[in-house]
Structures are given as C-alpha cells and as structure tokens.
Amino acid sequence: MAEKEKLVPRLRGKYPWFDHALRANDAFSERDGNHYAAAITYFSVLSLFPLLMVGFSVAGFLLANNETALNELSNAILRAAPPGLGDLFGSLVNAALSARGTTGILGLLLALYSGLGWMTNLRDALTAQWGQQRGKQPLISTTLKDLAALAGLGLGLIMPTAMGVALGALSSERSGAGSALLTAMRQVGSTIGVAVLGTLISNSYSHGVAAAADKLPPEVGAAVRSSVAAGVAVAEKLGSAELLDTVRSSFVHGMDIMLWTCGGIAVGCAVLAAVVLRPGRAPSAAEGGAGAEPGVGEGAEDGSLPVH
C-alpha cells in the first residue's frame, strides 16, 4: 500500500496529463458532479414521455384528415414495439391520437416541468463545476430565460426533421433545387454565424477583462485579453482568484449576449416566415398558383402557349 501511495505521486510528477486527469476527477467529485449528473439524467429521461405525448398530439392534428397516414404511423409504431407488447402499444397510440387535445396539453405541461428542472440542474451543475457561488436567482426572469433556452434547443432538434419534410413536399423536378438551396443556406449561415457570433463573444470578453488586464504588465494583460484559456492560465499562475472570476464571468457574459442575439435572429426569422407564408396569401403569377392568370401555369409546365 505504501509503495502504491509513493507510485501515484511519482507518476503525477512525471506525467502532467496524469496529474491533470486526477485533479479533474477530484474537482468533479468535490463539486458534487455525480449528483448533478444523476439529476440531469433523471429529468432527461422524465422529459421523453411528455415529448412523445406532444408528438402524438401534433401528429393527430396534422393527420386528422389523412386516414392512410395515421394507419401507416400506427403500423410503424407497432412494428417497432417489443414482442408481446403490440396490443398494449396499439391501444395507447389509438387513445393518444383520439384524445389528442388533452394529450397535447398534458404532455406540454409535463414537458415544461421536466424541461425547467433539467435547465435548473444543468445551470447549478455548471456553476458548481466552474467553482462559482450559486446565488439566488429571480424567479420570473430565470424562468423566462430557461423557457427561451428550451425553445432554442427544441428548434435545433426540429430543424433537421423540418428540412426533410420540406424537401419531401417538393416535386421530383424541384427536389434538386431545394436540396441545393438548403445546402447553400447551411454553408453560408454557419460561416457568417461563426464570424458574427464569435466577434460578439470576443469583444464582450475583451471589454469585460479590460479593467483587470490594465493592472497587469502589458504582455500579460495582452494574453489575458486574447482568449479565455490564456486568461485562466494567467490567473492560475498568479494565484489570483479575483482575476479568475473576472475571466470566467466575462466569458459567460459574452455567451449571454451571443445567445440573446441568436434568439432575436430566430424570432425575426419566425415573424418573417409568418408574414411571407401567411394563410390565404394569393400566389403571384410566377408561382403558377390559383391566383395566376388562367393558362399561365399550364403553359409553363408543358411549354405551350397560354390560351386566352
């Protein structure tokens, strides 16, 4: 046992990565990392069932007039059910689809409860792991922020499926153009997003640590302003808890600004989509819809001249 106790310090002194791994494990345990992981997992599993209820409700409303699609959905669920539980799953699915209004409301309430619990434990876990003090949070503003974060997470999870549905709704002649448009939007959006949002975080962080960096030697202060990793390294080397707290809080503030910016962009896009795609909007002549001049749509399709 004594030999083992001597071996570990020698290995920690010889291999920095080994020492870092042990220190990280100790910090994780000392800050109740296992307890927070269990709480986050609990609310993650708990949220699955209300989300399924909401999904069944939405499917019931969207496919209410499409008996074939409803049957295909039910059959797909039954095929995926474990052996011997097909009848039970079938009755549950039929009950959820028939009572879609009640199922959706109840599922939404349970999803909000589990989602808010998930966000609360995640925030407390990150606060503890970063070595910060957990202060008392205002109930209303904290709840609104958590709901906004949940909405953003939900949009992120829904977008791939929504894009697939949008492509599936296109005709075979337009599917290629639609796929190319979505790919271009992903590429351009990710490039511009990284540049703009990264600039917001960087400027906010540099502004937040400016006062603390001015008190340091010029080269050290420039390193603190350059990145969060450099700021943390300088604070640990100097043994300054105040500088470390400033670096971390400035980075978190920059993340807040970035997330609020993303939320504003998402809301703006949603409003724009609601205005452009509002129900009852008369299609233009170029769209070849019902509101176009008679015969124009047909002429565009088969290459013949419109008949007046």
* CA 64 distance to own-chain centroid: 30
Higher pLDDT, 303 or 18: 18
The CA-CA-CA angle for residues 119, 125, 128, to 5°, reads 140
Answer yes or no: is pLDDT of 296 > 50: no
Answer yes or no: is pLDDT of 193 > 60: yes
Longest alpha-carbon distance in the chain: 100
pTM: 0.52
For the chain, the average pLDDT equals 76
What is the spatial distance between Cα 137 and Cα 143, in angstroms, rounded to a whole number?
9
Highest-confidence segment of 133-147, 172-186, 242-256, 271-285: 242-256
Question: Long-range CB contacts (< 8 A, 24+ apart) of 252-257?
Answer: 253/204, 253/205, 253/208, 254/200, 254/201, 254/202, 254/203, 254/204, 254/205, 254/208, 255/201, 257/200, 257/201, 257/204
What is the spatial distance between Cα 63 and Cα 66, in angstroms, rounded to a whole number?
5
Q: CB neighbours (10 Å) of residue 254? A: 22
**What amino acid is encoded at 52 in this protein?**
L
Q: Which segment of 108-117, 150-159, 200-209 scores lowest on mean pLDDT? A: 150-159
Confidence of residue 290 (pLDDT cuts 50, 70, 90): very low
Q: Which segment of 27-41, 111-125, 238-252, 292-306 scores lowest on mean pLDDT? A: 292-306
